[in-house]
Structure 1
Amino acid sequence: MQGEQRARTIFLLLWTLITAVKLVIAARLPLFVDEAFYWQEGQHLAAAYSDLPGLTAWLSRLGVEIGGAHVLAQRLPFLAIGAALPWLVSRIATRWFGAVAGWQAGSLTLLMPLSGTLGILAVPDVPMALAAVLCLDAGARLLRTVDAAAAVKLALGLMIGALSHYRFIGVIVVGFIALLLLPQGRRMLRDPRVWVALAVGVLAWLPLLSWNADNHDAGLKFQVVERHPWAFQWSGLWFLVIQPMLVTPILCMAMWKVALAGTRSGGGARAQWRYFGLVGAVSTVAIFALGFFTDVERISFHWPLPGYLALLVAVPVVLNGWPRWLRRTGWWLAGTGLALAFCYYLMASAPALREQLAGDKYYPRNFAGWQPLATAVREELATMPAGSRVLAGNFKVGAELGFQLRDPSIQVLRHPLNDKHGRSAQLGLWGLLHDGRRDAPLLLVLSPSDQRYRDLLARYHAVCAQVGPLPPPRVVSNDHGYQRFLLFKLPAERAQGPCVTPAMAWIDTPLPDARAAGMLDVRGWAFKDGVGLARVEVLVDGRPVAEAAYGRSYDITRFWAISSDPQHPNVGFDARIDTAALAPGRHWLGLNLYGRDGSVESWPEQPLVVPAR
């Protein structure tokens, strides 16, 4: 009884503390771009969408209907599900392994970073995890005896999963494999009540199937074919490094021990032990194998979560058989991993802290700059004629601005990014893909940060083809330019003439993070298609420090073959700055690019280190 009371007290304390921290983070963290698009889908209610079934959008809509257009309100339904999952896992573990193991399993669900952070973001993995746990619980109960209550729970889990994500098909397949490998599972599958539950689960896929039938299988093709290379790639080995870090090493070892136990035979409660182990093992191994052939460009580290939740149910039994020092280390490592995950979200939510990651590969660009952008858009619209509309450069900008401006119907330019994320078909159904025609002034908002630099000039020319020459932009720069937006006021009638694009530049010398003492030479190139540049100004920490000599011969047309700057090849610049006037430490080197059309564009900055004297 003392062990049970202690385990219960620890669980309740952890649940209260972690839930409170998640609420604080969810209230402060800007919307991730996918969350913003789910909000937009929720404002256009439908049975299914191009990228997902309907449940994520419905939950997002429910949140803002209850709490208003605030990030916390949208995330509340997902936070509620995330808060309920540890209780469900605890209840499953209690049923099969006792109360102490049950409370411990709930605590580990709270502490494991992948499950402990669940609900902070309004994403489909949250209801899908709930569906997986419901199906897991129902399956374990049905292995012992088939009854109506367990069959109903199975049907409910299958329905929620079908309405959550295409990936839930994998959860179903894994569950079937696990059941077929168990004698009790094969016996269970012969019961008609189980097949009724399965039939209900199949019916839940009908809205998604109907959407695909009406739209040339656009969603199915994207999820199964277009987003994956389906060619072998060695990067799949990163799974072996990333996953132990995400679930913490000792907890990972314990889960693998549960998975291995699933291959052993036994009777009684051992059937459930094998079931949890088989579900987790088959799921994890399958995702690892698919990782060599599937999409690695977008976030996929969370895909094994349903399998990990199955393994966590039995992990306390394994841990309790280990030495005390190893158990404690495992618990503390899990808590440390969760704390680090929370710190990352807190850094992403605080502009001053987020700025410290500028230039780093972990810079949270998809969380950055949306509120300053919305403020600038409101200011520009206030100076434009009545009836002016916003035109976004891609779905990310359209969805994020839509949330900030409370407008779910912002038109979007055609962009490869829309196709890459499976959103073009949905935007087309809403009539939000801009076709080039306009009957009112437009405020065009481009996000060059979303484009690979080598493709940026081609993108600018594609924008010219869609809307005409671009006037001087207003630059909205965040975090030293690592999240950067360009705002263009387009007249009601399309302008004629050659393509005028935003300026482009590169600093050859010094390199990023270079150490500088005394006089520092700054060299590079810059150009602006259609009109050319008049001058280049060098900045340090946002303040002008030198006027560059612009116009040196520097032929870059071998790479930028489509460039139409009239000054080619004379687009090189040189400057010299005195770093002796700078305090020791890190500084930021930038450029102001002055176009011959009157434009002034700040270029993204790069770090510069002045050593102590």
Structure 2
Amino acid sequence: MTQRVFMVLWLLLAALKLALAVHLPLFGDEAFYWWESRWPAWSYSDLPPLTAWLIGLGSAMPGAEIAVRWPFLLLGLLLPWQVAWLARSSHGEAAAWTAGILALVLPLAFAIGVMAVPDVVMACLSVAAAHQLLVALAPPARARPWLLLGVVLGLGMLCHYRFAALPLVIALVVLMHPHGRATLRTPWPWLAALVAASTLLPLWWFNAGHDYAGLRFQLLDRHPWAWQSDGWLQLAEQALVVGPVLAWIMVATMWRLWRRRPLAGNEMTLAVLASGMWLLFFALGFVADNERFRWHWQLPAYLVALPLVAGSWSTWSQRIRTAALAVSALVIALVLAYFAAGIWPSAQGGWFDGKRFPANFSGWREVAAWQREADAGATPVIVDNFMLGAALTYYMAPERRDAVRVLDDPLNSRHGRAAQLAIWSLDEAALASQPPAPGWLLVEETARRFSDRWDWYRNLCTRFAGLRLDGVLDLFDGRKRFVRWRHDGYSTQPHCDTAALPPLGWVDQDRQVRHRGEPVLVSGWVTQAGQGIEAVDIRIEGQAPVSVSRTREAAWARQHWGELGDPAGDRLGFGVVIDTRDWAAGTYTYQVEARRPDGLVWPIGSGALRIDR
């Protein structure tokens, strides 16, 4: 594969990445890293400082999301060139552009560089470290390559604690390499290790001053450190993020290399680096965090392995090579579709429903605009979790960015952000230490499981004086929902005013398909503590609204939430049969709303009816 093919693909993917970086709303974690960049520090409770520092550098430039992302976008665009450079050093000019093209079609490598996250920085530094190691292990022993290697490894340690895997594997390579063992008798590897270790001082300084919050989260709190049999799922996950055919070629290439041992020279260095990193993270997958996205952990291993694959690429048949590129390109198309759903959530057509919905991209611009419309003066805004707090701070008017405070929430702790909010005095403990002041309470209802919402709302109700429902923002057919109150101040209350609690309910079978003339049942249940529900309204696109009462028994709410205080008791259910004989074929959306006796109208759910001929 030629340099011209590489350039055409690189320009095409660069244009796609640039468009995504400009139009894609900030991911929730990106927003928090941006928030950290506004508080320069030697480290943070979730990550070392380099990501926040780069975002701070980018944010000095004008622009919206692209200002946050452009340093990471440039690094992502540099990465295929780095892989080509590494392949040229290890296997010569013929393999360089092949390796670069393989880096371009690696789906996981395409995904990074679009967002301002540490993975693209770690990927670039990992490839740079591999190249410097090749140079350092070439006789005679020289100071400069080792010192540069130490600098690269040190920068990596400032990026993420996970980067520590690379120095460990590099130490193994040096011990296995004949010239590496000889080099240990010179001062240069030890000086490189000292340079790399010196960058740990800022991390130690931060952790020692804050109860070792960063180390505790990354090494203890987020990991169960117990055997998890679903670790075997990593095999399928990794095949997907590489592309199944290309993954098979990688495995076969590594197997061939190890079978013809002893390996020597550059092939040995890259093979041990790639295999060591991959196996280390694969083993960790059986005992470490499996709740958050882990598919990207092995990316540096794949990038280092690509020169080895490129070196033997011509030995594979044309059919296999074409299949590898085509399947990986198909996976990239799926990644593009996911990012597109993040830009246009309403247009994703059900392809990314449920857990696949891009919730961490969606709704931030809309909720910030909604809050700006209601905002006035210096009224503080209290939110329920770090992600909403960070996104709201970013998308709020610049003069209001210091108004956001964050309540304690399990989500904050699970992502290592609770300690950071406490350091900034933006958490609930800081609120409790201040005199009560009136303001806004804004929460993301859909950030928690449906079964947890009743108790969560009642708990919120007892933490604020004078809590009054102000409104609801229902987005993307209920996939994101934000609720807002006014309050007289953060202050523990002995009782909950049930008028401050929003209705909660469920809609059965939110997607139905019927032939024209067949009846359609729209049913569900809804509950409201205190005053109950006056009526349930079903509003179907293009049809007259239908109002029904709650007459059916629905025991789920009482069984899971206990005594509800709803005058209807267990008769919380509603149902209405819709006559479709006069309907034209097509898809009809509908909304279900609850109407309280005090006049409040509240969205309960939505759905779609498809009528076939």
> Under a length normalisation based on structure 2, what TM-score does the superposition of the two structures give?
0.92
1:3: which partner in 2? none
Does the C-alpha gap of structure 1 residues 193 and 368 become closer, same or farther in structure 2, counting only changes over 3 Å?
same
Deviation of 1:204 after TM superposition, in Å, equals 0.7
1:381: which partner in 2? 375
Q: Would you say the 8 A contact 2:511–2:608 is kept in 1?
A: yes
- 1:565-586 superposed Cα distances (whole Å, 9 cap, x missing partner): 3442332223232233544344
Aligned match for 2:496, one of 484, 498, 502? 498
Aligned match for 1:132, one of 117, 126, 130? 126
2:559: which partner in 1? 558
Deviation of 1:188 after TM superposition, in Å, equals 3.2
Distance 2:134 2:534 in 1: 73
What SS does structure 2 have at the residue aligned with 1:474? strand
Distance 1:291 1:222 in 2: 17
Distance 1:313 1:544 in 2: 65
- AA of the residue aligned to 2:496: P
Distance 1:317 1:518 in 2: 63
**Within 5 Å, which residues of 2 pair with 1:153-164?**
153-164=148-159
- AA of the residue aligned to 2:267: W
Does the C-alpha gap of structure 1 residues 81 and 358 become closer, same or farther in structure 2, counting only changes over 3 Å?
closer
- AA of the residue aligned to 2:380: R
Distance 1:164 1:187 in 2: 31
The answer to which of 422-431 and 484-493 deviates more is 484-493
- 1:425-483 superposed Cα distances (whole Å, 9 cap, x missing partner): 00011111133455433121111111011111121122123224642241111110101
What SS does structure 2 have at the residue aligned with 1:521? strand
Are residue 576 (structure 1) and residue 577 (structure 2) matched?
A: yes
Distance 2:119 2:440 in 1: 35
Q: Would you say the 8 A contact 2:466–2:487 is kept in 1?
A: no
- AA of the residue aligned to 1:337: V
Distance 2:420 2:453 in 1: 25
- AA of the residue aligned to 1:259: M
Does the C-alpha gap of structure 1 residues 180 and 605 become closer, same or farther in structure 2, counting only changes over 3 Å?
farther
1:526: which partner in 2? 526
Distance 2:352 2:330 in 1: 25
What SS does structure 1 have at the residue aligned with 2:227? coil
**Within 5 Å, which residues of 2 pair with 1:359-438?**
359-382=353-376, 386-405=377-396, 406=398, 407=401, 410-434=404-428, 435-436=431-432
What SS does structure 2 have at the residue aligned with 1:144? coil
**Within 5 Å, which residues of 2 pair with 1:162-561?**
162-261=157-256, 263=258, 270-354=264-348, 356-357=350-351, 359-382=353-376, 386-405=377-396, 406=398, 407=401, 410-434=404-428, 435-436=431-432, 439-468=436-465, 470-492=467-489, 497-500=495-498, 501-508=501-508, 510=509, 512-513=511-512, 515=514, 518-541=518-541, 545-555=545-555, 556-561=557-562
Does the C-alpha gap of structure 1 residues 340 and 196 become closer, same or farther in structure 2, counting only changes over 3 Å?
same
The answer to which of 417-426 and 592-601 deviates more is 592-601
Distance 1:344 1:378 in 2: 29
Q: Would you say the 8 A contact 1:114–1:305 is kept in 2?
A: yes
Query: Gaps (5+ residues) in structure 1?
Result: 1-5
- AA of the residue aligned to 2:146: A
- 1:364-387 superposed Cα distances (whole Å, 9 cap, x missing partner): 1111111111111011114xxx33
Distance 2:213 2:384 in 1: 22
Q: Would you say the 8 A contact 2:464–2:490 is kept in 1?
A: no
What SS does structure 2 have at the residue aligned with 1:120? coil
Distance 1:24 1:104 in 2: 26
- AA of the residue aligned to 2:174: L
What SS does structure 1 have at the residue aligned with 2:226? coil
Question: Identity percentage over the alignment?
Answer: 33
Distance 1:52 1:218 in 2: 10
Q: Would you say the 8 A contact 1:392–1:398 is kept in 2?
A: yes
The answer to which of 71-80 and 292-301 deviates more is 292-301
1:123: which partner in 2? 117
What SS does structure 2 have at the residue aligned with 1:477? strand
> Under a length normalisation based on structure 1, what TM-score does the superposition of the two structures give?
0.92
Distance 1:71 1:197 in 2: 37
Q: Would you say the 8 A contact 2:129–2:153 is kept in 1?
A: yes
Distance 1:374 1:328 in 2: 46
Distance 2:324 2:601 in 1: 55
1:42: which partner in 2? 37
Distance 2:548 2:391 in 1: 37
- 1:22-42 superposed Cα distances (whole Å, 9 cap, x missing partner): 001110111000000000000
Aligned match for 2:22, one of 20, 24, 27? 27
Q: Would you say the 8 A contact 1:227–1:295 is kept in 2?
A: yes
- AA of the residue aligned to 1:425: A
Distance 1:204 1:538 in 2: 61
Distance 1:358 1:87 in 2: 33
The answer to which of 206-215 and 117-126 deviates more is 206-215
Distance 2:441 2:357 in 1: 26
Does the C-alpha gap of structure 1 residues 49 and 322 become closer, same or farther in structure 2, counting only changes over 3 Å?
same
What is the aligned residue count?
A: 601
Q: Would you say the 8 A contact 1:542–1:590 is kept in 2?
A: no
Q: Would you say the 8 A contact 2:278–2:298 is kept in 1?
A: yes
The answer to which of 90-99 and 167-176 deviates more is 167-176
- 1:326-368 superposed Cα distances (whole Å, 9 cap, x missing partner): 2222223333332332232123212442354463431111111
2:11: which partner in 1? 16
Deviation of 1:546 after TM superposition, in Å, equals 1.2
Deviation of 1:301 after TM superposition, in Å, equals 0.6
